[in-house]
Structure 1
Amino acid sequence: MEEIRVRTSARSEMVEITDQVQALLDRGVREGAVVVQSLHTTAAITINENADPFVVDDVLRKLDGLIPRDEPFYKHAEGNSDSHLKTSFFGPSVTVIVSGGRLVLGTWQGIYLCEFDGPRERRVAVQLLRAG
């Protein structure tokens, strides 16, 4: 297992980590898969478009509309219930196929750490699974 550290700069943001994950593959994994997992309950991992930055803006704005920060029915004492809910929408991890030493992603796809309770330093576990 390898670990990537990501410094976030806002309460909610999506930070592309595709290049950091690919760099770990460059150590010799040619065929298999990689699991990318957030080690936090208020930060998720997802795959989404990495060509148009407005996609990330749209996702974050819609999430804020669906799951506002302040709701009178939240009971969690830390004041970040919305962050936990948003993280649950995406989940803690993604699995990506590796072929020819490269992540198998579509033309416009990238791997993102989704920060919902920042800014913070986040840890992302990366498990390389070799085929055969």
Structure 2
Amino acid sequence: MITLRFETDHKSQMIDITKEIKEAVIKSGVKNGIVTVFCPHSTANVVIFEKSDPSLRRELLGMLKDIVPHKDYSHSNARAHLKAAFFRTSLTLIIENADIVLGEWQSVFLVEFDGPRERKVYLKVIGD
């Protein structure tokens, strides 16, 4: 298992972690197979999303503010937990020729809902 670490800067944000995943796949030596990307946090997740237009990321985070409004919740960071429930904790990506397969406009993002803090993402690379 490979552990990636990221520092988040804001309460809610999306960090492109594609480069770090690609580097880890290359270091693994696997040419063809799969990589599982797992986020072991209940207030952060991973998602494949459009990479070239940062305004779309802001709009996604803004939409979640509308869906999970400010109010008195019984749990201190309930908003972060509720927002995270809309996303996955893991992704499985295809590895082809020592590179992950994504669409032309796609990247893998770590989505933070309770920052700033250190986050981990675990990778499991499996070859054919």
Does the pair score TM above 0.5? yes
Equivalent residue, structure 2, for 1:122: 119
SS for the counterpart of 1:45 is: strand
Separation in structure 1 between the aligned mates of residue 20 and residue 41 of structure 2, nearest angstrom: 18
Number of aligned pairs? Answer: 127
SS for the counterpart of 1:19 is: helix
Separation in structure 1 between the aligned mates of residue 55 and residue 63 of structure 2, nearest angstrom: 12
Structure 2 alignment gaps of length 5 or more: none
With the length of structure 2 as denominator, give the TM-score of the two structures.
0.96
With the length of structure 1 as denominator, give the TM-score of the two structures.
0.93
Aligned AA for 1:53? P
Deviation at 1:107, TM superposition (A): 0.3
Separation in structure 2 between the aligned mates of residue 47 and residue 128 of structure 1, nearest angstrom: 18
SS for the counterpart of 1:90 is: coil
Structure 1 alignment gaps of length 5 or more: none
Equivalent residue, structure 1, for 2:2: 2
**Deviations for 1:23-53, whole angstroms, at most 9, x for unmatched residues?**
0111211111111111111001100001111
Alignment of 1:96 onto 2:97:
no
Equivalent residue, structure 1, for 2:44: 43
Give the share of equivalent positions with the same residue, in percent: 38
Map 1:11-90 → 2, pairs under 5 A: 11-27=11-27, 28-68=29-69, 70-72=70-72, 74-76=73-75, 79-90=76-87
Alignment of 1:112 onto 2:109:
yes
SS for the counterpart of 1:26 is: helix
**Deviations for 1:76-123, whole angstroms, at most 9, x for unmatched residues?**
1xx211111111110211111111111100001000000000000101
Separation in structure 2 between the aligned mates of residue 125 and residue 48 of structure 1, nearest angstrom: 19
Deviation at 1:71, TM superposition (A): 2.1
SS for the counterpart of 2:86 is: helix
Runs ≥4 residues deviating over 3 A: none
Deviation at 1:66, TM superposition (A): 0.7
